[in-house]
Amino acid sequence: MTPHPATPLRTIPPVDADLRIRLATLCHEGWEMWDRFDVQVRGEAFHPFVAADYDLILAALMPLQASGTRFLEWGSATGVITILADLLGFDACGIELDPDLVRASRELASRWDSQARFAAGSFLPTGYRFRSPRGDDRLGTIGEGVSGYLELGRSLDDFDVVYGFPWGGEEAMMLDLMARYGRADALLLLNEVNGGLRMYRDGRLVS
């Protein structure tokens, strides 16, 4: 089982007290889901789902929260981060390739009375091909499937904030995807394998 940080309430910036408790409880439930997944699924065979540090993502999303701001999670897995975004007031969507995870995320959203929406499919738009300047066009752990944007009724450039958790070496592809299909003024948040979080706008690092 992978060790993970606890989610003490004090790590969450001050928002409404009830909301703080809901956010911390959801993070806790997310960690429990991840622990089960790690044993039951990843214990049997490789799966690309590894949970991010929910506290870190939450802290990054808090200052960006604004009602109606459109948030998209690439590879939303159990849906925890997309649902956190919805609870914060974002208009939140996730796209996930693994249908079992999509089912789990929809059930989680329903239990949390969340409006977060999840599409089953790929976060790669139809026809997208990664063209690396270095000539290495491999997609790493990123799988292929029917694009999920049609199901959401939105395209990538409809979103104001996009979040992804690339495995090592996949960051270039996510930056390329955002540069070619995202809006120039949108924020791209990338969780790093070593635990940090980088924020980009128009391909440039902003934090």
- Return residues touching ligand SAM (CB under 6 A): 48-52, 73, 75-77, 81, 95-98, 101, 122-124, 142-143, 165, 191
- Nearest distance from C-beta of residue 183 to ligand SAM, angstroms: 20
Spatial distance between the Cα atoms of 23 and 18, rounded to a whole number of angstroms = 9
- Nearest distance from C-beta of residue 135 to ligand SAM, angstroms: 21
Identify which of residues 3 and 14 has a Cβ nearer to ligand SAM in the complex. Answer: 3
Spatial distance between the Cα atoms of 88 and 48, rounded to a whole number of angstroms = 27
Identify which of residues 14 and 101 has a Cβ nearer to ligand SAM in the complex. Answer: 101
Identify which of residues 47 and 67 has a Cβ nearer to ligand SAM in the complex. Answer: 47
Identify which of residues 13 and 143 has a Cβ nearer to ligand SAM in the complex. Answer: 143
Instruction: Please check whether residue 183 is in contact with residue 159, taking contact to mean a CB–CB distance below 8 angstroms.
Output: yes
The DSSP output letter for 82 is H
- Nearest distance from C-beta of residue 59 to ligand SAM, angstroms: 14
The DSSP output letter for 147 is B
Q: How many helices (H) and strands (E) does the chain have?
A: 6, 7
Instruction: Please check whether residue 190 is in contact with residue 162, taking contact to mean a CB–CB distance below 8 angstroms.
Output: no
